Structure 1
Amino acid sequence: MHNSKRHAGIVCAEKIKICIKNNLTLYKRHDIFLKYVENKAEFHSHLSAYNAAQVDISQQADLQRSGNAQR
């Protein structure tokens, strides 16, 4: 009987270790995912700024062409 209790305690301890390891793995994955999302958001922010600058340059070129055409 004593050995079975000890065995049960060892099995329980192993299950707890596995559970903790799985939770740490999930937290690490979540942290990696959050970094990915932050990087993606930063990328889209830069892309939006670049696109806005391109539109502005295009509009300025159109205005310049229309100004030259009126002369």
Structure 2
Amino acid sequence: MIKPDLPTLTAFVLDKGGTKLMADEMFYFYTSKGWMVGKSPTKDWNAAARNWISRSKSTESAQAPQKKLIV
């Protein structure tokens, strides 16, 4: 796997509906881990980015304040 640079990863994440913050967080997280998943190298950073976006969006929606409907 060829490790992406930050501009490449950012462009990919933005294209898939993510944000620059998501791209930055993912880039620095995987860089700190040497682009390893456990003891294995990351095989597909594109798939990792799609999963990162998906998990980030589900976390954001779960943490969003819920409005109470008063009837």
**TM-score if structure 1 supplies the norm length?**
0.35
Bigger RCO of structures 1 and 2 (CA < 8 A, at least 6 apart)? 2
Between Structure 1 and Structure 2, the one with more strand by share is: 2
**TM-score if structure 2 supplies the norm length?**
0.35
Between structure 1 and structure 2, the one with the greater Rg is 1
